[in-house]
Amino acid sequence: ESDLALDNLAQKVQESLSLDQRHKFWETQPVGQFKDIGNPTLPEGPIEPPTPLSEVKQEPYNLPNLYEWVTCDIHDEQMCDEIYTLLANNYVEDDENMFRFNYSKEFLRWALQPPGYFTAWHIGVRVKTSKKMVAFITGIPARIRVRDEVVNMAEINFLCVHKKLRTKRLAPVMIKEVTRRVHLENIWQAAYTAGVILPTPVATCQYWHRSLNPKKLIDVGFSRLGARMTMSRTIKLYKLPESTVTPGFRKMEIHDVPAVTRLIRNYLSQFIVAPDFDENDVEHWLLPRENVVDSYLVESPETHEVTDFCSFYTLPSSILGNPNYSTLKAAYSFYNVSTATPLLQLMNDALIVAKQKDYDVFNALDVMQNESFLKELKFGPGDGKLHYYLYNYRVRHALKSSELGLVLL
Ligand SMILES: CNCCCN(C)c1ncc(F)c(N2CC(C(=O)NCc3cnc4ccccn34)C2)n1
């Protein structure tokens, strides 16, 4: 118990030390710099021009001696196992080290194999002798519109270094290596998020949580009993109907892809930054996959028109050191569109389905039009902020979270 606490303390000291090392690294990169914020003379758009492919570094960056690069074929069962285990033991935790994300193997295969993906962008670091996987970083291709320009980008995610190697300065060289491999595919921009501040957020979003199983959430320390509230009063407060209320509300199916694509393209056009989804993207990202992504739509019983859509992805968290529970079952709001059903009612149906499927909590960022339902559907503000970043693309002013139409996994 005590040496775990000591370990966490040592990690916090290390993290605070590495804050300025982090900024030193990012000041060498083509990203918006703090000193440039609000500078009207700097144009929006790419910061550096593309490099001729012949001039892109052809060979991988050097790792510290004991380690080697490994290109990870996530489709390979054993490789997928190794990546799953590295993340399950070493990926993002909350500030109090009570929870750690536990992305499932089927989720990772979904997240990393969208249309047009590159295996070369799934990069591992392993110990030369033991072949143990000790670090990971990924990119996937995405067409992201910024205002009225669609840009080919890489979405960077799952940067993870083993807890015992956090002082080895592996992250900067991993970021440079994935950037190099993205450049080799003639892509010069990227999008990524972090719970920490780096130069320079393009938007800062707030997490909100809607309790579905309040007793468990209080037992595991995710939430606290409200002042002047009893447990039975709290359970009653968050109670939901047994079944959804919207006529025509049903799971999305493969034949709905064209209609959902039209619906979501039209809806996302109102946001300053949003994915430019085509039918292949919609089929991959929004068709239901058990325990990975759930999506529902409203088909008008009269006209059979698809008028609304809602979706959430499944990202459980390991509960660290609790005797009674090992996993927090969390749903994360993904993309939602309402044109006929009030968004409030549509999202309440999403909560009802999530409760039916035994989720403990439904999380949502305050992006898109989510603010319009959060308070009324009894979401509470979380302690986590999520900062969005663009690489090699300047946005003159940070966006409001409601101007953001992009959800990363
Ligand atoms: C693109 N990649 C970002 C996704 C990673 N995501 C989901 C994330 N990034 C930073 C956060 F601040 C955050 N939060 C969800 C809120 C929350 O649920 N906080 C309690 C909690 C339960 N489990 C965990 C595990 C890790 C951290 C907090 N946890 C805060 N989520």
The predicted-structure confidence for 211-259, as pLDDT tens digits, reads as follows 999 999 999 999 999 999 999 999 999 999 999 999 999 999 999 999 9
Mean pLDDT of 299-307: 97
- ipTM confidence score: 0.94
Longest dimension (CA), the chain: 68
Amino acid at 230: T
Burial call 394-405: b when 16+ CB within 10 Å, e when fewer:
bbeebbebbbbb
- Sign (positive or negative) of CA dihedral 59, 64, 66, 71: negative
Mean pLDDT of 109-129: 98
Mean pLDDT of 278-294: 98
| pLDDT at residue 385, rounded to an integer | 95
| 48 contacts 393 by C-beta, under 8 angstroms | no
Phi, psi (rounded to 5 degrees) for 292 = -125, -60
Determine whether 43 is exposed, middle or buried from the number of CB atoms within 10 Å of its CB (0-12, 13-18, 19+): exposed
pLDDT in tens, 343-399: 999 999 999 999 999 999 999 999 999 999 999 999 999 988 999 999 999 998 999
Alpha carbons within 13 angstroms on the beta-carbon side of residue 98 total 13
Mean pLDDT of 326-335: 98
Q: State whether residue 111 is helix, strand or coil.
A: helix
Q: How many CB atoms lie within 10 A of CB 258?
A: 12
pLDDT at 2 over 80: no
| pLDDT at residue 35, rounded to an integer | 87
- CB of 193 closer than 6 A to ligand 1? yes
Q: State whether residue 379 is helix, strand or coil.
A: strand
Q: Measured in angstroms, how far is the CA atom of residue 302 from the centroid of ligand 1?
A: 41
Q: State whether residue 237 is helix, strand or coil.
A: helix
Residue of 104, 332, 386 to mutate, ligand 1, most atoms within 8 A of C-beta: 386
Measured by CA distance, the residue closest to atom 12 of ligand 1 is 384
Angstrom distances, CA of residue 64 to CA of 56, 90, 137, 222: 22, 20, 17, 39
Determine whether 161 is exposed, middle or buried from the number of CB atoms within 10 Å of its CB (0-12, 13-18, 19+): buried
Phi-psi category of residue 228: left, alpha or beta, with phi > 0 → left and psi -120 to 50 → alpha: left
- CB of 384 closer than 6 A to ligand 1? yes
| Closest approach atom of ligand 1 to CA 93 | 26
Q: State whether residue 2 is helix, strand or coil.
A: helix
Amino acid at 50: P
Mean pLDDT of 18-24: 82
DSSP 357: T
Q: Measured in angstroms, how far is the CA atom of residue 287 from the centroid of ligand 1?
A: 24
- CB of 88 closer than 6 A to ligand 1? no
**Strands 133-146 and 122-127, bridge-based pairing:** antiparallel
Q: Quote the distance between the C-alpha of residue 59 and its chain's center.
A: 30
Confidence of residue 1 (pLDDT cuts 50, 70, 90): low
Closest CA to 206 of 374, 91, 352, 351: 374
Catalytic residue among 63, 87, 377, 409: 409
What count of residues does the chain have?
409
Q: What is the SS3 string spanning 128-171?
A: CCCCCEEEEEEEEEEEEEECCEEEEEEEEEEEEECHHHCCCCHH
Determine whether 194 is exposed, middle or buried from the number of CB atoms within 10 Å of its CB (0-12, 13-18, 19+): middle
- Please say if 409 is a catalytic residue: yes
Residue of 192, 207, 320, 327 to mutate, ligand 1, most atoms within 8 A of C-beta: 207
- Give 81's contacts (C-beta < 8 A, 6+ positions apart): 105
Which two structure tokens, joined as six digits, stand for 144?
């992201």
Whole-structure pTM value? 0.96
Kind and range of the H or E run holding 351: helix 343-356
- CB of 386 closer than 6 A to ligand 1? yes
Could you tell me where the beta strands, DSSP code E, fall in 14-128? 67-71, 99-101, 122-127
Per DSSP, what are the bridge partners of residue 45?
A: 394
pLDDT at 43 over 70: yes
- CB of 261 closer than 6 A to ligand 1? no
- Give 265's contacts (C-beta < 8 A, 6+ positions apart): 276, 277
Q: How many CB atoms lie within 10 A of CB 3?
A: 8
Q: Measured in angstroms, how far is the CA atom of residue 254 from the centroid of ligand 1?
A: 31
| 74 contacts 157 by C-beta, under 8 angstroms | no
Amino acid at 377: L
pLDDT in tens, 129-179: 999 999 999 999 999 999 999 999 999 999 999 999 998 999 999 999 999
